[in-house]
Amino acid sequence: MLPNNRKPYKKTKETTVRSAASSAEPAGVSTSPRRKRKIPWYKKILRMMVPTKKDSTSDKIRKIIFDVAIIVFIGSCSYLISYYGQSDHNAKFYNGVAGLLGNGEVSENYPRAYLTKFASLWEMNEDIVGWLSIDGTQVNYPVVQTDDNDYYLHKDFSKADNKYGIPFADCRVDIEKPSTNIPIYSHNMKDGQMFGELINYQSLDYYKQHPVINFDSLYEEGKYKIVGMFIASTLPEHAPNFEYHNFIEAETDEELMAFANEVLSRSLIVTGVDIQPGDQLITLSTCTYDFKEARFAIVARRVREGESETVDTSASYVNPNPVMPKAWYEAKKIAALVAGVSLSPENLSLKPGETASLTATVLPNTAVNRNVSWSSSDSAVASVDQYGNVTAHKTGVAVITVTTEESGYTASATITVGAGAITAMHFSNESVGIPVDGNIDLISLLVVEPEGASKEGLIWTTSDPAVASVLDGVVTGKKIGSAVITATTANGVSASITVKVGTYIPVTGLSISGPSIVAPKKSVQLQAVIAPENATMRTVSWSSSDERVATVDNTGKVTGVKEGKTQIKATLYDSVNGEFVAYYSVTVSKGGTIELATNEAEIAVGKRVYIEFSSSNSEDVVWTIAAGDGQINLSVDGSDLVIQGVKAGTVQIRGSFSDGSGAVTLTITVTPGASSAPEQQPDAPSSSGEAPSVSEPSGPENPDPGETDPENPDPGETDPATDDSSSSVPSIWG
């Protein structure tokens, strides 16, 4: 219930009637309506924004959506103000840093090896290693380096916290040397600062405007021509991977060229700039957002000495088929499985010695795994390397096949190697013999270059038709004597051989004798054994089945190259019985043995003894006097140790190879009386190989103790003024 003197406001517009006592008020005075309460403005706004219990469901939803929109709007405004504030601050900061480059004095503490233009920057931050810029872009920053690649991710040049960071060189790089490749990292900022503009290099027009990168290290200034730009991944599952950031130092030229081939195959633009052994590289790397953990990198190589700094970009074009990570295709929803391979050209004609390139195209263009392998059906005719480069060797036909790593698709090209013109020729023998009325075909003895060149059309002449005639290379004996037969090509290349006509003893057999073991870089002599011994034909040609293991000259001298086995081939052509071939297995090994004819000997003072030795692989033997109370003079003559007694006593001589292996010991007893091993000159040196020369100490030989020397009557004494043989141990080396 409401009080009697108050009625609800909403139920009446009339004024409240006072009690009867109020009727006595003066005439002309009346009552007025009550005023409404005024609601403050902020409460009105709150009523519009804040849901209340009295609000309907639709009003509540409307207010909540409105509130969220207001919050998002305020947050966005705050972010934009903060972002562009930081962007402006960062740009102004690095503009100020750039103003220090080349300005300021050089302090006493500044390293003298550094370029003076970095002095002020070094005073500000000693981590500086260079300055990076690209003309016409925002890229114009100092480059720093520490032993922690994460340190400068969110710190600026003053080492203050800054989400923009600063370009920094990989901690593994040697700036002073410098390393083969210098990876430099920085952020891809949306406002284009730091490495944000590098993403524009995916455009051919942008590349053409900015084909050169400037990077001055603390030690030298340099301009770098862009070789290629590509998208890569840091995750193994995004194969085919390219760990470009781990390529710092090339141990071999092959490593550098393998890196170059990866860059070129992945580059989004074919720039036409190459990489050669000895080139210095920089790699600029930043993030891209094509897929998770994606990276965008640019590889450039230093302008070579004497090379123009400008780049002709007129021939540059977009690569229609760059190698991309698997994740890129997945992100673009593009099929990435290998469906085939093609090879171009499919037919190729070459001459011996010529080279050509085959191009394999993995299908489709979007296939991820483009790895292929190459093979030749006959490498003796034409060989192929891992990049599809074909080299012709001799006349014949070879099929080159390319096979995809994924799914094993193949394609083939037929290589036909023709003869070509003869550029040089000679006969395998200096002379041949035939009987009267006998004949021989000299074409089989004619060796031409290049191998397989046609021998047709040669002009044959004889110096004495009365002794020997020749027709198309076939010589016929006319009478006893000799004649020179000459073959000449149309372009003037010629070769000659002497034909002896007379009593002819044909060859019936051929074999090889000699050492079967040789050390690397040492030689042994092989002998061709011809039966019968008085056979007319004596000229033998030699060859090795593997010249990477051992080579052989035209006398049968075999020289070891590296450890392994090879077959030495001897060939002899007989005019009557045709060709004879003999094979001999030779092993190249460091593990040789030394053999002595005896391990002990006795000689008298003033006498000599010759002791034969041999090395199983002809490796040099080092002889030294190891111990003893006697004294000798020691030298080497071919395969013999030459030992002369000087002072009575016992002497031990040690022989070994240069690495100390194969050691043997020879004990020499020097007596003042007659020798139990009479002096004798040995036979010819052993065919097992020559030993190294050893220098013999200077000084006169001691006289025979059986004779009286008027200058020194006591044969057991020597004149210290003239004999220096006892003053030092002989100097011996291999």
CATH number of the domain residue 636 falls in: 2.60.40.1080
pLDDT at 85: 64
**Which range, 105-114, 215-224, 286-295, is most confident?**
215-224
Beta strands in 351-473 (DSSP E): 355-357, 359-363, 372-376, 382-384, 389-392, 396-404, 410-417, 424-427, 431-434, 439-441, 446-449, 459-462, 468-471
The pLDDT, as a whole number, for residue 80 is 67
Averaged pLDDT, 421-445: 88
Q: pTM here?
A: 0.45
Looking at residue 77, what is its pLDDT? 77
Same domain, 482 and 407: no
- The predicted model gives 668-692 an average pLDDT of 53
Question: Is pLDDT above 90 for 237?
Answer: no
Same domain membership, residue 224 and residue 131: yes
Q: Looking at residue 705, what is its pLDDT?
A: 38
pLDDT band at 86 (very low <50, low <70, confident <90, very high): confident
Position 333, amino acid = K
Boundary (domain end) residue, out of 572, 588, 604 = 588
Burial degree of 138 (CB within 10 A; 0-12, 13-18, 19+) = middle
Query: What does the pLDDT read at residue 233?
Result: 87
d(CA 412, CA 352): 20
What are the Cα distances from residue 659, in Å, to 524, 587, 596, 622? 20, 19, 19, 10
Confidence band for 82, pLDDT divided at 50, 70 and 90: low
* Tens-digit pLDDT profile for residues 405-415: 988 999 999 99
- 645 burial via Cβ count (<10 Å: 0-12, 13-18, 19+): buried
Question: Directed axis angle between helix 57-98 and helix 41-49, to 10°?
Answer: 100
Query: Alpha carbon 106 to chain centroid distance?
Result: 42
Does residue 575 fall inside a structural domain? yes
Percent of the chain's residues with pLDDT above 70: 84
Tokens representing 620?
């040099």
Q: Is the pLDDT of residue 729 over 60?
A: no
**C-alpha–C-alpha distance, residues 459 and 515, integer Å:** 43
Instruction: Give residue 683's pLDDT.
Output: 46
pLDDT, tens only, 680-691:
444 444 333 333
In a domain, 680, yes or no: no
CA–CA separation, 707 and 288 (whole Å): 101
From the list 137, 112, 119, the residue with the least C-alpha distance to 189 is 137
- Mean pLDDT computed over 456-480: 93
| 201: in domain | yes
Would you place residue 168 in the very low, low, confident or very high pLDDT band (cuts 50, 70, 90)?
very high
Higher pLDDT, 287 or 85: 287
Tell which wins on pLDDT, 321 or 82: 321
**C-alpha dihedral, 650 to 655 to 658 to 659, nearest 10°:** -90
Report residue 336's pLDDT band, with 50, 70 and 90 as the boundaries. confident
How confident is the prediction for the chain on average, in pLDDT?
A: 83
Q: What are phi and psi of 678, to 5 degrees?
A: -60, 145
Backbone angles phi, psi at 49, to 5 degrees: -100, -35
Strands 459-462 and 431-434: unpaired
From 566, 588, 610, give the residue that closes a domain: 588
Own/partner pairs for 101-104, CB < 8 Å, 24+ apart? 101/131, 101/142
Buried b (16+ CB within 10 A) or exposed e, 60-94: eeebeeeeeeeeeeeeeeeeeeeeeeebeebeebb
In a domain, 107, yes or no: no
SS3 labels along 610-646:
EEEEEECCCCCCEEEEEEECCEEEEEEECCEEEEEEE
User: 400 - beta bridge partners?
Assistant: 376, 413
Residue 75 lies in a domain: yes
Residue 399 has pLDDT above 90, yes or no: yes
Rounded Cα distance, 578 and 529, in Å: 17
Domain that holds residue 477: 424-502
The average pLDDT across 681-707 equals: 39
User: What is the CATH number for 121?
Assistant: 2.40.260.10
> Which residues have CB under 8 Å from 449's CB, separation 6+?
422, 423, 424, 425
Would 195 be classed as within a structural domain? yes
pLDDT of residue 573: 86
442-451, 453-462, 657-666: the lowest-pLDDT one: 657-666
Q: What is the pLDDT of residue 75?
A: 79
Residues 294 and 354 in one domain: no
Query: Looking at residue 45, what is its pLDDT?
Result: 73
With tokens 């690569």, the residue in question is: 319
β-strands 439-441, 474-477 pairing? antiparallel
Residue 176 and residue 146 share a domain: yes
pLDDT digits (tens, 9 = 90+) for 472-492: 999 999 998 999 999 999 889
Task: Say if residue 137 is in the same domain as residue 85.
Answer: no
Residue 642 domain-assigned (yes or no)? yes
Please give the Cα distance from 497 to 440 (Å, whole number).
Answer: 12
pLDDT at residue 509, rounded to an integer: 94
**105 burial level (CB within 10 Å; 0-12, 13-18, 19+):** exposed
Q: Is the dihedral of CA 83, 88, 91, 93 positive or negative?
A: negative
- Cβ–Cβ < 8 Å for 620, 658: yes
Helix (H) or strand (E) holding 60: helix 57-98
Is residue 697 over pLDDT 50?
Answer: no
User: How far, in Å, CA of 115 to CA of 131, rounded?
Assistant: 11
- Tens-digit pLDDT profile for residues 609-634: 999 888 876 677 888 998 889 999 99
Instruction: Please give the radius of gyration of the chain, using alpha carbons only, rounded to the nearest integer.
Output: 48
Cα–Cα distance, 275 to 393 (Å, whole number)? 28
Q: How many domains would you assign to the chain?
A: 6
pLDDT digits (tens, 9 = 90+) for 16-73: 444 444 444 455 445 555 666 677 777 777 777 777 777 788 887 887 887 788 788 8
Question: Do 183 and 248 touch, CB atoms closer than 8 A?
Answer: yes
Per-residue pLDDT reduced to its tens digit, 509-567: 999 998 888 888 888 899 999 999 888 888 899 999 999 999 999 899 999 999 899 99
User: What's the CA gap between 22 and 301, in Å, rounded?
Assistant: 109
3-state secondary structure of 730: coil
pLDDT tens digits, 239-285: 667 889 999 999 999 999 999 999 998 999 999 999 999 999 999 99
CB atoms within 10 A of CB 490: 10
Q: Please indicate, yes or no, whether residues 88 and 151 belong to a single structural domain of this protein.
A: no
Listed residue (12, 62, 47, 57) closest to 33, CA to CA: 12
Q: Is 567 exposed, middle or buried (0-12, 13-18, 19+ CB in 10 A)?
A: middle
Helix (H, G, I), strand (E, B) or coil at 251: coil
Boundary of a domain, candidates 541, 572, 588: 588
Is the link from the previous residue into 352 a cis peptide, with omega within 30 of 0?
A: no
- Asked whether residue 567 is assigned to any structural domain, the reply reads yes
pLDDT score, position 451: 74
What would the two tokens of residue 615 be? 């090395």
Q: What is the mean pLDDT of residues 396-420?
A: 90
257 and 196 fall within a common domain: yes
- What torsion do the CA atoms of 244, 248, 249, 255 make, to the nearest 10 degrees? 0
Same structural domain for residues 188 and 286? Answer: yes
Give Dmax (Cα) for the chain. 187
**Do residues 646 and 553 both lie within one domain?**
no
pLDDT tier, 732 (very low <50, low <70, confident <90, very high otherwise) = very low
Q: Is 475 exposed, middle or buried (0-12, 13-18, 19+ CB in 10 A)?
A: buried
The pair of three-digit structure tokens given for residue 168, joined into one six-digit string = 């920094």
* Angle 112-113-118 from CA coordinates, rounded to 5°: 80
Based on the fold, state whether residues 532 and 489 are members of the same structural domain: no
Residues 139 and 184 in one domain: yes
Is the same domain home to 450 and 534?
Answer: no
